[in-house]
Chain A
Amino acid sequence: MQDNAPNPRVLLTKSFIDSHDRAIATIALALRDAAMEVVLIDYEQPEDVVTVALQEDVDIIGLSFMSGGQVETTQKIVAELKRRGVDDLPLVVGGVIRPFDVPPLEEAGVREIFRGGAPLADVVATFQRLAKAYRGYA
C-alpha cells in the first residue's frame, strides 16, 4: 500500500550470540503493524550492522541487548556510522539497559532507550518520528 509518504524502513538487530529474541520479535511485529518495513539481522561484528543499514537504506536502527555489550557495541556502531559518513542515522537501544549504561549511551548519541515494560505505542511513535525526520518527510 503505497501512499504519498513511503513507509519507514527499519533495521532491528541483536548479536547472533544473544538468543533472547522475544523482545526483538515483539517490536518487529508492532512496527510491521504500523506499516513499517522491518529488516532483521543477527550481527557477528558491530560494524556489520552499518554495512547492512547502508545496503538496506534504512531510516533508523534499533539495537536489542538482552545480555551484555550494551555500551561497547553501541560505541563501535556509532564510530562506524561516522566513518561511513552517516552519523546522523538515528539509533535507538532497547532491552536490559542498566542505570550506569545510560550516560555513556546518551553520550554516544543514542536517541532513545527503551526498557522492558515500555509501552509499545510509545516505541512505535518514536520509531515513526525519528525515521520520518531522518528521511525528511516529517
Chain B
Amino acid sequence: MTAPHARPDASSLLTAVRSRDPLAIARAITAIENRTSTGNELAVAVRGQVNGCRTLGVTGPPGAGKSSLINALVQEMLPHYPRTAILTVDPSSPISGGAVLGDRVRMAEHSANPNVFIRSLATRGHLGGVTRMTRSVMDLLAAGGMDLVIVETVGTGQSELEVAELTNVKIVVNAPGLGDEMQAIKAGVLEIADILVVNKSDLPDAARTAAHLNAMLHHRGHDEHRSVVCVSTVTRDGLKALADAIEIKFAQLAADSTLAVPRTASARLLLARAVADRAEDMIARTVDPRIDVLVEDIAAGLLSRQDGARTAIGLLGELRPVSNARD
C-alpha cells in the first residue's frame, strides 16, 4: 500500500503551515511531537515565533472544569482573537504508552469552526503537565497565523509548573470544596497563577473556596495584585469578567516588555531539563553492555541508584547516540 502520508520535507511543510493549511499544521505538529528529523528541522525553523502571539496557560486539578471553561471562554475571546489554537494535554499510560484524549468532548461548540484549531496531545512520559515538545508546537501554531494559543495542562497536583514558562498569562482553575486555607497557602501551582478561578460557581461551596483563596492573597499583603474570579460555565456567570481580567493582563504585558518573556524561564534551567531528557533517552534505549551491568546490579540490590547514576553519567559521552523516531 502506498503511504498517502507521503512525508513532505520540512520546507514544503513549513510553506503550507504559513499559508494556514490546517492539515499541514496538524502534520507538522505530529512530526514535532514524534521528534522525527523533519520535526526537529521544523522546530528549529519556527523557534521563537510564539512571541508574536498571545499565550494563555490553563491549569488546575483533574475535574476542575478546565476543558469546559476553555470551551466557554473561547466564545468570549474569539472577537478579539479570530484565530485561536487550543493545545490540550492528557496523560499517557505509564504501562502501555497509550492514551485516551478526552478533553475535546467538552469543546464540541468549536468543532465546526475553522478558525479554532484544537489539538490533543499525550504526555508520553513527560512530567510537568505538558509535553516535551509543547514549546515548539506553540511556535509552529504561531507560524501558522494563530493570534492566541491556549495551553491546557493535564490535571495537575501541586508541582506541574512547566506551563508557567510557556505562557504569558496563567489561570489556575479550582473547583469548589477542594481543600481549605491550608491548601491555599501551600507552595505550588497557586503561586504561578496570574488569575485564580473558582469554577462551578453555581455549586454551594464556591463562595467558601473563593474566600479561602482571597484570604491567601490577603495574607501576602500589598505586593499581591492578583484576583479571584468566580465563573460558571452552566450559567455563564463571570465569563465576561474572566475574559476582561485576561485582557488586562495581556495589556500589561504589552506595556512592560520585560514581562513578555516568561519570568521563570531561564536558559540554564531549560538546558538542564533538555540534558536530563536526553540522558534519560540514552540510558533507557542504549544497548551498551556497561549500562546493562549497572542495571542488573541495581536490580539485584548490589548497587545504589545514586552510585549507578554517577557511573552512568561518566559513560554518557561514550554511548552511541540514540536515533530518534523515524519519519
Contacts and interface: CB of A to CB of B under 8 A. Distances in A.
Contact of B112 (A45, A56, A85, A88): A45
Interface string A77-106: 000000011101100000000000000000
B287 interface: no
Contact of B35 (A2, A9, A133, A134): A2
A37 interface: yes
A136 B5 contact: yes
Nearest to A89: B4
A40 interface: yes
B14 interface: no
A108 interface: no
Interface in B111-144: 111-112, 114, 117-120, 122, 124-125
B271 interface: no
Which of A2, A28, A85, A137 is packed against the most chain B CB atoms within 10 Å?
Answer: A2
A5 to B, nearest CB: 7
Contacts of A52: 104, 111, 118
A29 B325 contact: no
Contacts of A136: 2-7
Contact of A39 (B30, B101, B326): B101
Interface string B29-45: 11000110000000000
B3 A7 contact: no
Given A5-B325, A33-B96, A55 B119 contact: yes
Nearest to B4: A88
A54 B119 CA distance: 10
What size tier do the contact residues of chain A reach? 35 or more
B178 interface: no
B23 interface: yes
A106 B125 CA distance: 39
B26 interface: yes
Contacts of A112: none
B149 to A, nearest CB: 14
B98 interface: yes
A82 to B, nearest CB: 13
Interface string B42-56: 000000000000000
13 contacts: A4-B326, A34-B98, A37-B92, A38-B99, A39-B104, A41-B104, A43-B111, A47-B112, A51-B112, A52-B104, A52-B118, A54-B26, A134-B5
Interface of B: 1-7, 22-23, 25-27, 29-30, 34-35, 92-93, 95-102, 104-105, 108, 111-112, 114, 117-120, 122, 124-125, 285, 323, 325-326
